C-alpha cells in the first residue's frame, strides 16, 4: 500500500475510533430521560443559598440539583418540600391555608430515567422529636429523659412509628414504578446527625448525654427500614450516613455538615448545610455509578 494511502487509512481508522469513544462518553455524560427528585427538607435544603422556592424552602444547592448538574440528565424536576411526609406524595401540601406544593408524584412521568426519594423523617415526627428531646434535656442533662419519654410503658413509640411508616414508603415506591416504569429508582437515607462515638455535647446542643445513643439508634432504624423497603420494591438504597460520620452537629464549624439548634452556617436547625448536601450528592452519584 502506498504511504499516502496508508496514512489516509490510518487517519480514517483513528478518526472512527475517536468518534466511537466520543459517542460512548457522550452517552455516559448524558443519561437518558429526566431526573425527578421527591422528598422532604433533607432533600430540599432549607435556608441554604440560593432558595429557589420559598414555600418549600428549596435550594438550588441541594443534593438533587448538584447531582443533576454533575450527571447531565436531559431534564430535571425537583419537587422536594420542607415538612413533607409520605402523604404529600399523593396530596397537596399546605402551610396553614396556603398550598405550597402539589402532590409530588404528579412530577413523575413515563419519560423519567431517574427518580430519587428521600422521605420518612416527618412521618415519625422529626420536628416534635427534636423539640421534645431538647426540652427534656433541661430537666436531666446527664440522664436519658427523652428515652424515658418515648419508651414509657414499655413500648418504643419511635420504633413503632418507623414500623408504621414502612408500608407507606413501599406504596410510594410502587406508585413511582407505575408512573415511570423505565426509571431507575433510588431511596436516599438520612446522614449522621448525632455523634457516632460519643454521648453528645450538651449544652452546646441540647440533647441529654443519655439520650444520644437512643436517638442515634432510632435514626439507624429509620435508615434500615428505608433500605429494606427499597430492596422489597425494586429500588436501590443510598447510604448517606456512613460517609457523614464525624461531621455531626457537635463538630466545629467547617467540619460539621449538619447544623445544630442554632445554625452557624445557612441551614435549618438539625439539617444539612451546603457541605452536607454536597456530601449527600457525592453518595448519590457514587450509587448511580455502581
SS3 24: helix
Single out the catalytic residue among 65, 80, 137, 271.
Answer: 271
Concatenated DSSP letters of 130-195: HHHHHHHHTT-TTS-HHHHHHTGGG--HHHHHHHHHHHHHHHHHHHHHHH-TT-EEEEE-----S-
Single out the catalytic residue among 37, 41, 65, 144.
Answer: 41
92 is catalytic: no
271 is catalytic: yes
Cα 202 to Cα 70: distance, rounded to the nearest angstrom:
38
Cα 105 to Cα 272: distance, rounded to the nearest angstrom:
24
**What are the helix and strand counts (H, E) for the chain?**
8, 9
Q: Which of 145, 261, 138 is nearest to 205 (CA)?
A: 261
Q: Which of 86, 149, 88, 158 is nearest to 125 (CA)?
A: 158
SS3 content of the chain, % helix, strand, coil (to 5): 45, 15, 40
Do 260 and 203 touch, CB atoms closer than 8 A?
A: no
Do 100 and 86 touch, CB atoms closer than 8 A?
A: no
Q: Phi, psi at residue 118, to the nearest 5°?
A: -125, 100
Catalytic residues: 41, 271
Amino acid at each position: 500500500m502506498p504511504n499516502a494511502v496508508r496514512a489516509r487509512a490510518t487517519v480514517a481508522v483513528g478518526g472512527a475510533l475517536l468518534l466511537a469513544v466520543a459517542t460512548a462518553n457522550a452517552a455516559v455524560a448524558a443519561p437518558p430521560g429526566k431526573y425527578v427528585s421527591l422528598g422532604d427538607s433533607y432533600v430540599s435544603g432549607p435556608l441554604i443559598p440560593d432558595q429557589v422556592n420559598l414555600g418549600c424552602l428549596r435550594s438550588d444547592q441541594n443534593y438533587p440539583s448538584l447531582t443533576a448538574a454533575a450527571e447531565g440528565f436531559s431534564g430535571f424536576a425537583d419537587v422536594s418540600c420542607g415538612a413533607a411526609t409520605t402523604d404529600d406524595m399523593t396530596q397537596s401540601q399546605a402551610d396553614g391555608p396556603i398550598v405550597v406544593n402539589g402532590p409530588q408524584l404528579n412530577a413523575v412521568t413515563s419519560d423519567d430515567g431517574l427518580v430519587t426519594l428521600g422521605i420518612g423523617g416527618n412521618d415519625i415526627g422529626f420536628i416534635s422529636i427534636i423539640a421534645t428531646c431538647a426540652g427534656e434535656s433541661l430537666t436531666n442533662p446527664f440522664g436519658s429523659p427523652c428515652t424515658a419519654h418515648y419508651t414509657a410503658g414499655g413500648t418504643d413509640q419511635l420504633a413503632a412509628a418507623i414500623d408504621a411508616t414502612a408500608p407507606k414508603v413501599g406504596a410510594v415506591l410502587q406508585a413511582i414504578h407505575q408512573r415511570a416504569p423505565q426509571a431507575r429508582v433510588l431511596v436516599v437515607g438520612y446522614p449522621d446527625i448525632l455523634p457516632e462515638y460519643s454521648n453528645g455535647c450538651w449544652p452546646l446542643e441540647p440533647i441529654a448525654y443519655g439520650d444520644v445513643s437512643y436517638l442515634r439508634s432510632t435514626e439507624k432504624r429509620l435508615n434500615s427500614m428505608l433500605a429494606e423497603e427499597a430492596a422489597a420494591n425494586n429500588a436501590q438504597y443510598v447510604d448517606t450516613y456512613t460517609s457523614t460520620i464525624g461531621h455531626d452537629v457537635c463538630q466545629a464549624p467547617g467540619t460539621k455538615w449538619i447544623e445544630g439548634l442554632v445554625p452557624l452556617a445557612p441551614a435549618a436547625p438539625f439539617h444539612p448545610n451546603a457541605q452536607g448536601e454536597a456530601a449527600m450528592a457525592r453518595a448519590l452519584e457514587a450509587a448511580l455509578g455502581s
